[in-house]
Chain A
Amino acid sequence: MMENAIAWILIFPLFGSVACAILGMGNKKICYPIAVLSMAGSLWGGIETLRQVIASEVHRVSYIFGGWTLDKYPRGVGIEFHADILGILITLVVLGVGLIVSIYSKLPVQDETPNKEPLFYTLFLLQITGLAGICLTGDAFNLYVLIEVAALTGYGLIAMGSKRAAAATFNYVILGTIGASLYLLGVGYIYIKTGTLNMVGIHDVIVANGLADSSTMQVAFVLVGIGILIKMAFFPFHAWLPNAYCNAPTVTSSLLAPLVTKVMIYVMIRMVLSVFGVEFSFESTLWVDVMPWLVVVAIICAAVMALAQREIKRMLAYLIVAEVGYMVGGVWIYNYYGLIGSIFHVISDACMTLCLFLGAGLILRKAKTTHFDGLRGLFSKMPLTMTGFFIGGFSIIGLPPTCGFFSKWYLITGGMVSQRWEYMVVLMFSTMVMVVLFFRLIERIHLAVSESGENLGHGHGDLGLTKEQTRFDEGPLSMLIPLLLAATVVLVVGIYNQDIVNLIEIFLSEFNLPKGVGH
């Protein structure tokens, strides 16, 4: 059991989902415990694998399905799961978020998608399966299949939402398919030149045959890169994201928003570092010169669009787009600290986005709207929810001791080392935008002032609301506890960031990355 822990990560949710589909036909109530249990089992597998990875000398666990082990067969004959520290860290994020959201899901799923609980949980668990698989797989084509697993479940989960969700999902389907297909094409280009699909194998062939100058490989890099950028909603390709996440059911957006974009950034990091290799990606392509400027444009546009929103979920959706810019920038400023920042930001952004979307879900449930106009007085009505929500918010701004501060610190340090001033300036700019976003929200909730600046109450803290509207009325515990748990995670990840960063440093130490002057 122990040596197969990495397989159990996927087996638990896979069987859980089928169990939901079959058993759920008879008894809908059974789906929720199945989902929570399989997530817990999966998380156990993840933690066990992390232990193995840390314990192993090379800091990675290679697991080849079907018994096509490396001692008897060439690499790439079977499909390999290749868990290095980075992969297993992101997997743990996926599983952790999945567990928290699955606990959270009980009531919203019942209320928002009545009679569809078995379907919902089936897709939910398969979504986790796909995302966790993406993080672990060591096979370029298997990655495509898993991306599609995650994407298709995502389409289904989103389309269960409001009426508009269908149209939004359709856009997502088209863009997502373009992205995945471009990735597939890129893998084909890699295959035509290297003759293998195994990530390690590809890297070995690139180095051995000196393929860095091959135009096919260059185009393959572009295709894979653009495919992933579309999937992660990088700025010019972000069109699918806001509508999809806004109109999705609460649980769906809480699950997808923290994970999908982040996992795709992980894929980019993996492609850049492990598959194509540092020399190829950074030295022999133009991406290092071009991407930081695209990132600047992306962050500015996303931040400005977030400013224009008057609805929490939509605002958060644009924030995600901006955050994607952070992380992509952290990779392409090309240095050690930038990558630490990028990887750590993947982790912390997942935590804080989870926090925010769980909070938004609770607000929607209790206040019946997430539009800014309907939020006044929520601090007294649901103080715990608001605490959780704004811990996430402060983390996005980057206030210590939340994890957002530390990731931002590393990103800034990275920009400093690479002397990418434009990236640093834009980080500052978007930080200020986020300050405005969240404190404007606090103002709207806390103050008895309308947006245009009129006093609404009689003064002395009167919010112009009735007693019932400000009375203490928290959401159900099954939703509140996951939110507070997520908020705690945001703080804990911040406080113990050094431990995580140490792990990331172990991972990065095998790559030859510039560390800056005097390091």
Chain B
Amino acid sequence: MKKLSLIPVLVVGALLIYAADDFPEWGNLSAPASASPLSSHFISNTGFDTEVPNMVTAVLADYRGFDTMFETVVVFIAGMAVLAILKNSSGSNSKKKNFHIETEPDIIVTNTVRLLIPVIQIFAFYVLAHGHVSPGGGFQGGVVMGASFIMIALSWDLEKALARFPMDRCFIVAGLGIVLYAGIGLLSMFLGGEFLDYAELANVFPVSREMARYHAMLGVEIGVGLTVTAIMFALYANLATEGRLKGGL
């Protein structure tokens, strides 16, 4: 069986190597991908269209904002699906495993974490908000934020983390993130543009059309950040406890 599985693998490999011969050279400036009107438009016009210095953020949240909305939805789906799979699923084999730790959490660890957490969370906000000018954005910020809650769960126990961020609230926050994202799109649609045409927000906010895009992007990133934060923590909490949400690692 293992030998057999090599056949498709090698066939795929041969195909890919065959095609690689035809690729433009690595880093070639005149390669179609780099020289296409699309790429040059993104590079030359991002500032003009949106005033965002970070092209990746602009492409992510505005030019291809629709993609990113569904990307957020994918994260949301992952959380919902994991919950759906693991909820009430305690099977026969799960009870023999009991990791309940009787000892108190280590004082050094907890105190260090206590100090670290505000820093991490502020850093998360920074990554999120500063995504316009430096690498960063909603996903990255959200993951860092989610990590801070996971850290609580790791150093104390899951109950403490869940007390701060209960599972119900997790999903409400995640949902709100999507509502925020899609809501901004919807609002711009009601203002006369297409769905996600942030420029239309200039009709109600005292900013130029470009700056409207700029600010709406921040709103969108916050939405992404909310969803990612909540789902990252929810994923951890569910996976670590097989969906029972108590005990755990």
List the interface of chain A (C-beta within 8 A of B): 4, 7, 11, 14-15, 18, 21-22, 25, 63-69, 73-74, 76-79, 113, 115-116, 119-120, 122-123, 126, 129-130, 133, 139, 141-142, 145-146, 148-149, 152-153, 155-157, 159-160, 163, 166, 189, 191-197, 201, 205, 214-216, 218-220, 222-223
Contacts and interface: CB of A to CB of B under 8 A. Distances in A.
Given A192-B24, A215-B21, A156 B172 contact: no
A197 B33 CA distance: 10
A103 B182 CA distance: 26
B80 A123 contact: yes
Contacts of A21: 76, 80, 171-172, 174-175
B127 interface: no
Contacts of B83: 119
A152 B88 CA distance: 20
A166 B94 CA distance: 15
Given A65-B65, A115-B87, A7 B179 contact: no
B135 interface: no
Nearest to B87: A116
Nearest to A63: B194
Contact of B70 (A15, A145, A159): A145
B32 A152 contact: no
B39 A195 contact: yes
A113 B85 CA distance: 11
A382 B112 CA distance: 68
Top 9 A-B pairs, shortest CB-CB distance: A195-B36, A156-B81, A67-B197, A219-B19, A195-B32, A65-B66, A7-B195, A119-B84, A216-B22
A67 B23 CA distance: 34
A22 B73 contact: no
Contacts of B63: 66, 68, 77-78
Contacts of A205: 32
Contacts of A73: 41
A149 B81 contact: no
Given A66-B66, A149-B77, A195-B36, A215 B22 contact: yes
Report which residue of B74, B188, B195 has the largest number of chain A beta carbons within 10 angstroms of its beta carbon. B195
A67 B194 contact: yes
A201 B37 CA distance: 11
Contacts of A18: 76, 175, 178-179, 182
Contact of B194 (A4, A146, A194): A4
Given A18-B178, A66-B196, A156 B77 contact: yes
A25 B171 contact: yes
Contacts of A64: 194
Contact of B175 (A22, A166, A215): A22
B85 A160 contact: yes
A123 B81 CA distance: 7
B80 A119 contact: yes
A126 B73 contact: yes
Contact of A65 (B38, B81, B179, B196): B196
Interface string B169-181: 0011011101100
Chain A interface main SS type:
helix
B243 to A, nearest CB: 11
A126 to B, nearest CB: 6
Contacts of B88: 115-116
A460 to B, nearest CB: 49
Contact of A11 (B39, B41, B195): B195
B199 interface: yes
B87 A119 contact: yes
B120 interface: no
A163 B88 CA distance: 12
Nearest to B61: A66
B195 A155 contact: no
B66 A79 contact: yes
Contacts of A77: 38, 41-42, 63
B37 A74 contact: yes
A153 B77 CA distance: 6
Contacts of A222: 15
Interface in B195-216: 195-200
Given A22-B175, A153-B77, A215-B18, A66 B65 contact: yes
Given A18-B179, A77-B38, A195-B33, A152 B19 contact: no
B211 to A, nearest CB: 15
5 contacts: A15-B182, A21-B172, A66-B198, A120-B84, A201-B38
A313 to B, nearest CB: 21
B193 interface: yes
Contacts of A67: 188, 193-194, 196-200
B116 interface: no
A311 B66 CA distance: 43
A103 to B, nearest CB: 21
A139 B64 CA distance: 10
B172 A65 contact: no
Contacts of B67: 79, 139, 141-142, 145
B195 to A, nearest CB: 4
B108 interface: no
A192 B84 contact: no
A38 to B, nearest CB: 13
B41 A192 contact: no
B81 A152 contact: yes
Nearest to B167: A25
B242 interface: no
Given A67-B200, A123-B84, A156-B80, A133 B33 contact: no
B179 A66 contact: no
A102 to B, nearest CB: 17
B186 interface: yes
B133 interface: no
Interface in B3-27: 15-16, 18-19, 21-24
Nearest to A127: B77
Interface in B51-99: 62-67, 70-71, 73-74, 76-78, 80-85, 87-88, 91
A429 to B, nearest CB: 28
Contacts of A215: 18-19, 21-22
B106 interface: no
Contacts of B74: 145, 148-149, 152
Nearest to A67: B197
B65 to A, nearest CB: 5
